[in-house]
Amino acid sequence: MSENARLKFYCDEHRCISCDGCSVACAEAHELPAGINRRKVITMNEGILGLEYSLSIACMHCTDAPCEQVCPTDCFYIREDGIVLHDKEKCIGCAYCLYACPFGAPQFPSDGAFGIKGVMDKCTMCAGGPEETNSHKEREMYGQNRISEGKVPVCAAMCSTKALLVGDSAEISDIYRERVLSVGHGVKTQPYGWSTAYGSKI
Amino acid sequence: MKSKYIIIALLALSSLAFGASESVVWSDNLIDNILGYDKKGSLHLGQYFTILQSTYFKPLFLGVLFGVPAVFLLHYMVIGPMIFSHDRKKIYVFTLFHRVIHAIAGVSFILLIPTGLIMMFASTFGGGEFVRVCKEIHAISTLLFIVSIVPMFFMWLRWMFIHLDDIKWLMIVGGYLNKDKKPVPAGRFNAGQKTWYWLATLGGFIMIGTGAAMYFQDIRLDILASNHISQIDFLRASAIVHNALGLAVVALFFTHVYMAVFAIKGAIHSMIDGHKEEEEVEILHSSYYRELKEKGEV
Amino acid sequence: MFDQISGRGYGEMKGEYYGLPWPVWTETHGGSPLLYNINRSVAEGGMGFRNRFGLEHDGQDLLAGAGSAPKDSANKDGYPEITAKNIEEVLGIKLTADEKKRIGKNWKVDTSNIIAEKCMQQGMAPYGNAKARAKVWTFPDQIPMHREPIHSPRQDLVKQYPTYEDKRDHYRVDTQYASKQNEQDWSKDFPINLVTGRLVNMNGAGMENRASKYLAALTPEMFCSINPDLAGKYGIRDGSMMWIHSPEGTKIKVKAKYSFSVPEDRIFMPFHFAGHFQGEDLSHKYPKGTKPYAVGESANTVTNYGYDIITQIPETKGGLCRIEFA
Ligand code: SF4
Ligand code: SF4
Ligand code: SF4
């Protein structure tokens, strides 16, 4: 990671097979309540030949995060590494962050009867929250803090096609550039054919 | 025993309305949310909301919160209150029903406005439980507001249509810029009161609708879907409208209170015992006074 | 460690293949990564086809042709699978008396592994070197050919590609083929193709997955993917309920889900659900505490009659149905 690394997600729509592994892994790892999807896989143009593709979406940990700008409680804080987190003890569940968010990331659990909504929950990039790192309270309120343990966020870690990438934004764009440039050369995007598997002699 | 069943029935109903259906914000509609941010063909409401909320709303509310009282303080010091004779007859203007409804509305405003402002300035109050409670009070007092504003709309409607007097009234700013006791052109309600009435009722209905939309988030409106407005854009529009109207409501509420309590000495009594001083009516509602005279009621 | 394309080890892993691909003939053999590769010796992972179907059929020699043995083979031509009886002759070696005592009957049951060891020394495969066959003379269709499903949407194709004759005592069941297909023109009353299949999040039968909160949440309800144009003809809206009737006289009630992934002549349903039966919610019958998070109609309630001619596996992909707005 470089000095001024900002951690970012990137989902490669040429690779995503919409298996929903990321979203289930996330829900499972953080034991999210029903109705909360920190990560969601969406399919665009479903069934339309040549136009269909899928993407895995969660909080994108925006630079100049709009959610942070509008929150009336100022409960957001952006870590040095660019992860956008918030303090659930301050949050009042007004949903302004949701209105500002370009990705529909903030979510609100139904708090019991009459559809009243509780405080906001969103992807933490598996970095917990403002509570003491890896404390029980942090775990209960924000889910696992994998970043502090040096682990990759669980959604990206389990992505079997490596469509979902997470890391220093500069490195991620390098990987993507390499993928784009190497389509048809070197990196295998096609299944092995006879010549690759057996050699061209026979 | 009975109340238990009522609660269970209500719970079941509410789950029908909100729990059973998939979220309108996050299910398949998530795509609309994303496309609706600032992509081609979107309403750009996400951006507008972000800009308004991050840079304009708070200063504007601060302006209203301190600016309006400051202007009135100036008015009070420079021009001073109108004082009408308490010796003449009193005219019975507001029935008990009017006064009760008005009182309920008053209580709801006294609850709604501070709690709303606390939410707007949540960070000043540290957020958290206190502001959350205010949010719930804001929601619950809306019920009071609803039960008062609906009858109020109908009970005064017939006096609230625009009249030539209103334009004249506006030209002289209701006669408040000096202390001359010249008759002011106004019927039973003057242009200022009418404005407040329309803002409180029609504006109030919009406040209720937009507020409920934001509070419940998941209210499913087919009319939106059929017009290709995504739920999230609806919510954004609600937030913008709610805050903008809120500004006006706060400003006019302050004005209303100032007029009743300070600017016109004793005016508040008309909403307590139903009577206005005859001189007050003669001057401030001169057209109405003429009417009453013609009918021989004074 | 391993070459990315051939899977062959190098350095420390020299002589091995990635993942020990079957068959691994002896304890020192590195495995055989390709089904057929005669450019490499058997000891190094090369192999020909197994001698599986006898030595001769209809006058055709079934052993491999002359000169087609894998590289470095002592026997350059085809040869039968190796047994205790033919080992000396086929491999061209002599066994000691001790080996003769310990050797198993054939390569499959030879626990002494003498056959494999000797074969490796000679560069030969214990299971022989024979021809592959493209004709299965024990099957009704020796070479696969198209046959219309019993419930076919196309009568003309039924005539052209009729199904099998009825089969008596097919795994103890008298099974209908032609008589069912010709019973009537099924496509008249049941004009829509019915396809069932798997959802990724429900991977197997779906029972365990529907009992997992997060997996079930992805597809909380039984549904039927339907092309909007087809749905429009029946007045079925996205998310509304629809009936699906099968030629068996059964029906299910499921939620319509608009999708362009299915063409206009068919509907698709996942097969993982259970708990409802023909429009009735029976999920209260689950023993207490065992009701899965997601319940719904089972697609198999409406899949059509039809069984595989060899295995008796039921037909779940080639059926017909009739739909209506519910
Ligand atoms: S919540 Fe939305 S606006 Fe905030 S950082 Fe995440 S994606 Fe960006
Ligand atoms: S819901 Fe919570 S985090 Fe979001 S803007 Fe409101 S107070 Fe801030
Ligand atoms: S980074 Fe962690 S919290 Fe965010 S979507 Fe992935 S698994 Fe969920």
B92-105 pLDDT per residue, tens: 889 999 999 999 99
B contacts of A72 (beta carbons < 8 Å): 53, 119-123, 127
Minimum Cα–Cα distance from A96: chain B residue: B239
Ligand 1 site-directed mutation target among A122, A125, A169, most atoms within 8 Å of CB: A122
Q: Where are the domains of chain B?
A: 1-25, 36-295
Task: Count the Cβ atoms, other than its own, within 10 Å of residue A139.
Answer: 16
Helix (H) or strand (E) holding C297: strand C296-297
Which residue, judged by its Cα, is nearest atom 7 of ligand 2? A91
Contacts of A108 in chain B (CB under 8 A): 217
Which helix or strand (DSSP H or E) is residue C102 part of? Answer: helix C97-102
Chain A residues whose CB is inside 8 A of the C264 CB are: none
Cis before residue C247, ω within 30 degrees of 0? no
**Ligand 3 atom closest to the CA of A122, numbered from 1:** 3
Contact yes or no for C71/C95 (Cβ under 8 A) = no
Range of the domain at A171: 7-182
Amino acid B221: pLDDT: 78
Q: Do A34 and C39 touch (CB under 8 A)?
A: no
User: Which residues in chain B land under pLDDT 70?
Assistant: 1-24, 26-29, 36, 38-41
Q: Do B128 and A104 touch (CB under 8 A)?
A: no
C94/C100 Cα distance (integer angstroms): 10
pLDDT at residue A141, as a whole number: 92
Number of structural domains (chain A) is 1
| pLDDT at position A116 | 66
Q: What is the pLDDT of residue B18?
A: 38
Over residues C289-297, the mean pLDDT reads 94
Residue A106: CB within 6 Å of ligand 1? Answer: yes
Nearest ligand, CA of residue A92? 2
A169 in any annotated domain: yes
A82 found inside a domain? yes
Q: Is the pLDDT of residue C268 over 90?
A: yes
Does residue A193 sit within a domain?
no
Instruction: Identify whether the C-beta of residue C210 lies closer than 8 Å to the C-beta of residue C273.
Output: yes
Q: What pLDDT is stored for residue A188 in this prediction?
A: 53
Q: What is the pLDDT of residue A197?
A: 57
Please state, in angstroms and rounded to a whole number, the distance separating the CA atoms of residues B175 and B194.
16
* Residue A195 counted as domain residue: no
What residue type is C147 in one-letter code?
R
- Do residue A115 and residue B216 have CB atoms under 8 angstroms apart? yes
Specify the CATH number for the domain of residue A172. Answer: 3.30.70.20
Long-range pairs of B162-169 with CB within 8 A, sequence gap ≥ 24: B162/B194, B163/B187, B163/B287, B165/B190, B165/B191, B165/B287, B166/B190, B166/B191, B166/B194, B167/B191
H/E segment holding residue B28? none
- Whether residue A124 lies inside any domain: the answer is yes
Please list the alpha-helical segments (H only) found in chain B. Answer: 2-14, 30-35, 45-51, 57-62, 68-78, 96-120, 128-156, 164-171, 191-198, 204-216, 222-226, 231-257, 278-284, 286-294
Low-confidence ranges of chain A (pLDDT < 50): 1-2, 202
Three-class secondary structure of residue B157 per DSSP = helix
Contact B240, B214 (CB under 8 A): no
Instruction: Sort strands A40-44 and C296-297 into parallel, antiparallel or unpaired.
Output: unpaired
pTM of the entire predicted model: 0.79
DSSP string computed for A62-105: -TT-HHHHH-TT--EEE-TTS-EEE-TTT-----HHHHH-TT--
User: What's the rounded Cα separation, in Å, for the pair B4 and C23?
Assistant: 71
| Cβ pair A117:B215 closer than 8 A | yes
Do the domain assignments include residue A47?
A: yes
pLDDT on residue A13? 87
CA of residue A126 to ligand 3 center, whole Å: 5
Residue count of chain B, please give it: 298
Instruction: Tell me which amino acid residue A134 is.
Output: N
Flag if A19 and C200 touch (Cβ within 8 Å): yes
DSSP code per residue over C223-266:
EEEE-HHHHHHTTPPTT-EEEEE-TTS-EEEEEEEE-TTS-TTE
Question: From the CB of residue C317, how many other CB atoms can be counted at a distance below 10 Å?
Answer: 12
Looking at CATH, the fold of the domain delimited by B36-295 is given as Fumarate Reductase Cytochrome B subunit (1.20.950)
Distance A127 CA to ligand 1 centre (A): 15
Q: How far apart are CA A67 and CA A77, in angstroms?
A: 10
Q: Which domains does chain C have, with CATH numbers?
A: 1-140 (no CATH), 146-187 (no CATH), 190-306+314-325 (2.40.40.20)
Q: Is residue A30 part of a domain?
A: yes
Average pLDDT over residues C228-233: 96
Q: How confident is the model at residue C111 (pLDDT cuts 50, 70, 90)?
A: very high
Asked if C259's CB is within 8 angstroms of A24's CB, the reply is no
In a domain, A191, yes or no: no
Index of the ligand 3 atom closest to the CA of residue A9 = 1
Q: Which of A20, A32, A34 sits opposite C201 (nearest CB)?
A: A20
**Nearest CA, atom 3, ligand 3:** A123
Q: Is A154 in the pocket of ligand 3 (CB under 6 A)?
A: yes
> So what's the pLDDT on residue A181?
78
Regarding the beta carbon of A83 and ligand 1, being less than 6 Å apart is answered no
Q: In this structure, what token pair is assigned to residue B175?
A: 């006669």
